[in-house]
Amino acid sequence: MAHIVILGAGIGGMPMAFEMRENARAEDRVTVISNIATFHFVPPNPWVAVKRQAQRCANA
């Protein structure tokens, strides 16, 4: 059994964790270590802001 440790849960760490899980054996463990206690997925946030802005403009 291998224990794969990924440092960082950001834009690089999370995709790596998913890829390692897909390629690891069933008995292997994948652990992601982050410097914060909560997970906040950032990439869709600009889309949310643009959509909200578009809705404000449409209502004006």
Q: Is residue 15 part of a domain?
A: yes
Which two three-digit tokens encode residue 23?
A: 């390629």
Q: Is residue 5 part of a domain?
A: yes
Q: Is residue 27 part of a domain?
A: yes
Where the chain has pLDDT below 50, the residues are none
Quote the pLDDT of residue 36.
87
Number of independent structural domains in the chain: 1
Quote the pLDDT of residue 20.
96
The 3-class secondary structure across the chain, one letter per residue, is: CCEEEEECCCCCHHHHHHHHHHHCCCCCEEEEECCCCCCCCCCCHHHHHHHHHHHHHHHC
Domain span at residue 17? Answer: 1-36
Q: What is the C-alpha to C-alpha distance for residues 16 and 50, in angstroms, rounded to an integer?
A: 28
Q: Is residue 32 part of a domain?
A: yes
Q: Is residue 7 part of a domain?
A: yes
